[in-house]
A and B are shown apart, each in its own frame.
Chain A
Amino acid sequence: MNATEQTLRITGGRLFDGQGELRDNPGLLIRGGLVAGVGDAAARADSEYDATGCVVAPGFVDLCCNLREPGNGQKGNIASETRAAAHGGFTTVCASPETSPVNDSSAVTHLIREAASSRGAVRVLPIGAITRGLQGELLSDMAGLKAAGCVAVGNGSRGVINARTLRRCMAYAQTFGLTVMFSPENQALAADGYAHDGQVATRLGLLGIPEVAETAAVMEMLLLAEETGVRLHLSQLSCARSVEMLAQARQRGIAVTADVAMHQLVFTDQALAGFDSRFHVRPPLRSETDRRALVAGVREGVIDAIVSQHQPHDSAAKQAPLAASEPGLSSIESVLSLGLELVQRGELDLSRLLEALSSGPASVVERRAAIAEGMPADLCVFECEGQWLPSAQTLLSEGRHGPVLDRSLPGRMKLTLVAGGVAWSDAG
């Protein structure tokens, strides 16, 4: 991260400053890692960046990202995955506690933060494990995790054993003002499933995860959050009914936010029709009705954030029959592009997409993502129309199993700045 007194001016193109609509870029001046001026056209700068034909937006914030460090070097590491994040326009990623060892102690949190500050291309905000070892049974040292720099606590993609433990987790987290992040799934109902329990699973004989595995958990979590008063963030929703319950909870005044993975907004269980293990994800891709409701949830602001749910794997983890493969997509580099396809199809506004990728998620972790005077110069510049070809050669992540491969996508990333320093540039 470059924090010299060198100045850079970005001119041309359109600007999204974190809220409202896009407008013509009045010229940005960056000095000392900060946005020194917006619309200060006259001031002299050491260098210029011409963003004509591009969109300039706050750097994206990912609430759900697996960096695989410590412990899973064969799948990825902080250096490789933050580079991939920067390539995707992300300037801040929240690191999932599902590492090895699990991030359930301040020592592991420090390890992640040190690795991120020495080798990371973007900012890394660790999420602590809410239960020890993510086992869903014993409370972790949440106060210690917070002091070490965890921005929230959660159980990764794993469930919590029972409602009593969940209730105590929430009450304890609330004591320290910690946000709890849960991917809602009732483990007994999900059982051994790995696909949406619908027509595709029935035809292909796949073990299904019924919608009620999610909706029952959402309801339980909402009731417990209301009772304990904790700030609840529901992560990676997949069902139409969950969006409905979320909206109702908001109306009741429950402090709840939510996110959805980009692939849930784009794909359905039809992606599994050829037994394609790449699309083995958890929660599973569901029906077209669910997909539409999730997009509507983002459009209407019921869902605050879109996440990558980036889960890079080594090829052996994915080169297996569907049931034997590990869940997850290497997705962080194509989040924007898939979102732009939704914009092109008229399902989502560009400004709403960018909000759900930047200021929306930032506010969940009590941060701000905006291009405004005095803010850190975390931003990205991309061409909406410009195409790029995701492939094993162009993806920077160690995981080569992107949701789209060898088909060109809109949204070519030109430049990603973190604190004014170049985190990624197409100029090399």
Chain B
Amino acid sequence: MTANDPSPNHLQLTRDGQLRHFLTLDGLDRELLTDILDTADSFIEVGERRIKKVPLLRGRTVVNLFFESSTRTRSTFELAAKRLSADVLNLDISTSSTSKGESLSDTLLNLEAMASDMFVVRHSQSGAQHFIAESVTPGVAIINAGDGRHAHPTQAMLDMLTIRQHKGGFEGLKVAIVGDILHSRVARSQIRALNELGAAEVRAIAPATLLPTDVESLGCTVEYDMARGMKDLDVVMMLRLQKERMEGALLPSEREFYRLYGLNQEKLALAKPDCIVMHPGPINRGVEIESAVADGPQSVILNQVTNGIAIRMAVMSMAMSGQTAERQQKLSDTGEAAQ
């Protein structure tokens, strides 16, 4: 069914081009991405109210299905769902059924029996959410909260929202992504979003061992030398470095990595004076970023966290309304067929 249709759109969009799952930014056009950003903007105001709730998902059940633990992403999804008035169930699967040998298909069947309307899924394997979206009952929305090295679309979109707030738009922007791009689902989604939204240049700054094969095909240039790469930047996005990378012979030491690719004030001074500094968190101070930079005036790292809730509210409400529209469409189709 999917083998011959490589585009993910048959899965995540309805016939009318509305979002019904949110799996990847691949195949989503500028208009839809802008729509997500605009919707998120409107939810930011909700977070500033005394009563931070809207009834868009009232009566709906959202299950946070985390096969890989993550306190922060899960918390922002939970908060987003609650602000939309949904009932939320958090399931940390990494420590339960799968370790007992239950297959993903079986786990899903059990959860569907609980009549949920939406699964927010994080999984360590690339494409797991595609698999889930293909196998769930129609009407249930799947939101990707990070799959393997593939995609982390809500993270990339909250980054885009942060950039738009600070830069007004994307035209002409020079953006660098620094660090472990090979293992990063965040970087893949960011590169895709920046290209679609019209950034002028996306640079990948990393040693060759932390870059995937043919990384330029994603839509970026490669720079090994960070000093050169920082030149004229409007935005620098740092990535988290996992400690395991030393063991796989990808890097010699944290110290050497920090010296070459860590962001300190000296390197930041090579960028444009109003260059903003971003990081998906959690940050490793002294490994990829200096404290003075992380806490400095150009850092927008905490804005990213705030924007994360608004973006997740936007995506959840859009996917739910796409599912509802599709169901109504189907009902009217069958109604017409019956006549």
Residues of A at the B interface (CB closer than 8 Å) are 197-199, 201-208, 210, 270-271, 273-279, 316, 319-324
Contact = CB atoms under 8 A, between A and B. Distances in A.
Given A204-B126, A206-B126, A316-B103, 13 more contacts: A198-B213, A198-B214, A199-B217, A203-B188, A205-B149, A208-B213, A274-B3, A274-B11, A322-B126, A322-B131, A323-B127, A323-B148, A324-B104
B5 interface: yes
10 contacts: A202-B213, A208-B213, A274-B2, A274-B7, A275-B126, A275-B127, A275-B131, A320-B103, A320-B104, A323-B148
Given A319-B105, A320-B104, A321-B123, A276 B2 contact: yes
Given A270-B6, A316-B103, A323 B213 contact: no
Interface residues of B, number: 32
A205 B26 CA distance: 13
Nearest to B217: A199
Contact of B125 (A198, A203, A276, A323): A323
B150 interface: yes
A198 B217 CA distance: 10
B319 interface: no
Contacts of A273: 6-7
A271 B123 CA distance: 22
Contacts of B128: 321, 324
Interface in B211-236: 212-215, 217-218
B53 to A, nearest CB: 35
Contact of A205 (B7, B8, B126, B214): B126
B151 interface: yes
A323 B104 CA distance: 12
Nearest to B191: A203
Contact of A202 (B8, B103, B131, B212): B212
Interface in B73-125: 103-105, 123, 125
Nearest to A322: B127
Contact of B213 (A197, A271, A321): A197
A408 to B, nearest CB: 14
B105 A202 contact: no
B185 interface: yes
Nearest to A210: B213
Contact of A274 (B6, B123, B148): B6
A399 to B, nearest CB: 16
A202 B215 contact: yes
A321 B149 CA distance: 13
Contacts of A201: 212-213
A58 B184 CA distance: 52
A323 B150 CA distance: 12
